[in-house]
Homo-oligomer: A and B are copies of this chain.
Amino acid sequence: MTSRVHVGLSDRAYDIFIGRSTAEHLGDALAAGGKVTHAVLISDSNVRPLHGERLCAELRERVDRVDALTFPAGERSKSLTQFAELCEQMLRLGADRRTLVVACGGGVVGDLAGYVAASFARGVRFLQVPTTLLADVDSSVGGKVGVNLPGAKNMVGAFWQPAAVLIAIDDLATLPDREYRAGLAEVVKYGVILDEEFFAYLEAHVAEIDARDPAVLEQIVTRCCRLKADVVEQDEREETGLRAVLNYGHTFCHAIEAETEYGAFLHGEAVAIGMLCASRLAERRGMVDAETTRRQQQLLEQLKLPVACPGLELPRLLAAMMRDKKVAHGRLRLVLPTRMGHVELVGDVPEAEVLEAWGPALNVS
């Protein structure tokens, strides 16, 4: 049981190796980066004991010198302060432009360590070794790396493609239930935005997903990576608008996260709520039928994801939406579904319609 997804980006092309363990494909992944004599594994305080130590040992079998850096787990570490600290630690380790960075962890680790790789010595090679479902299917693929500014998520960063991505399905077995389910929200998103057949597959496999069946998980992760790779191949730097489809639900989601100071909801949970807001907005604009929203809500509920965020304040949510990176020349642009499996980027959405779309998510008794 093993899959490979190729991300075709000319001189920045790379493979995503999906197996049961990292050991299966570590050799292939390292070979993709060229000669490696020094590797620096970067992970956080949660991941280091769970997966980092084992990966370090595996790396030491193949690389002359392996160092490891660890930072405190949590979104707060995705800051320019932590970025500077890691860069200085890299320098003290004697890292140079041939050093390989190995990002081992969830989305925060991949984004932060990836940005260190993009920036140290103006860019060194790096491996993404995601250890959460969310990172497997989303943040580890596509080269988006970066950190937050106070009040603005992912506002500083780069597009920096890894030399390879190494996904170990068995790592998902130890993932806390809530984090696992948060990852499933992004999985559902791929079905809604790009692949009706895949959405139906998910509807038909709720039990196996609940049980974290490795064969089903491998199917799911592989399909999501392929779907994301297709998009990234066509719009690496989010310039044509195509890559923006991946942000379905995310403008609403980022507003929820900002308003709750990234404390009340995991990213995937906020995505679940945000997708339903976006789908309802599309309904109100006559772009999509009610059934499309209903199927999303049903699947998300079956996967035990939140579908509302009662108590948040509408004016503050709206203000947060306007700070989103997708705002171009001060106008709100949103990704909205036109049918199950297809979305479009819509510019100039009237504020009144956005207000209405939030309603059901906020007014829950």
Residues of A within 8 A of B (CB): 37-38, 80-81, 83-84, 87-88, 91, 94, 96-98, 118-123, 144, 146, 149-152, 154-159, 237-238, 325, 327-330
Pairwise interchain contact B87-A119, C-beta atoms closer than 8 A? no
- The complex places the Cα of A122 from the Cα of B146 at a distance, in Å, of 8
- The complex places the Cα of A98 from the Cα of B326 at a distance, in Å, of 10
Which 7 pairs of residues, A with B, have the shortest CB-CB distance?
A80-B84, A122-B157, A119-B156, A87-B156, A121-B325, A37-B329, A91-B149
Pairwise interchain contact A119-B84, C-beta atoms closer than 8 A? no
Pairwise interchain contact A91-B158, C-beta atoms closer than 8 A? no
Contact of A152 among B91, B97, B144, B237 (CB under 8 A): B91
Pairwise interchain contact A155-B121, C-beta atoms closer than 8 A? yes
Chain B nearest CB: distance from A117 CB in Å? 11
- The complex places the Cα of A150 from the Cα of B325 at a distance, in Å, of 32
- Given A80-B83, A88-B149: A325 and B119 within 8 A (CB)? no
Chain B residues closer than 8 Å to A97, beta-carbon distance: 325, 328
- The complex places the Cα of A156 from the Cα of B118 at a distance, in Å, of 9
Pairwise interchain contact B119-A157, C-beta atoms closer than 8 A? yes
Instruction: Name the residue among A118, A156, A238 with the largest chain B CB count within 10 angstroms.
Output: A156
Pairwise interchain contact B156-A120, C-beta atoms closer than 8 A? yes
Chain B nearest CB: distance from A89 CB in Å? 10
Pairwise interchain contact A151-B119, C-beta atoms closer than 8 A? no
Can you list 30 pairs linking A and B with CB atoms under 8 Å apart?
A: A37-B329, A80-B80, A80-B83, A80-B84, A80-B87, A87-B149, A87-B155, A88-B149, A88-B150, A91-B149, A91-B151, A94-B330, A96-B325, A96-B327, A96-B328, A96-B329, A97-B325, A119-B157, A119-B158, A120-B155, A121-B155, A121-B325, A122-B144, A122-B156, A122-B158, A122-B237, A123-B158, A123-B159, A123-B237, A158-B158
Chain B residues closer than 8 Å to A91, beta-carbon distance: 149, 151-152, 155
Chain B nearest CB: distance from A334 CB in Å? 15
- The complex places the Cα of A325 from the Cα of B121 at a distance, in Å, of 7
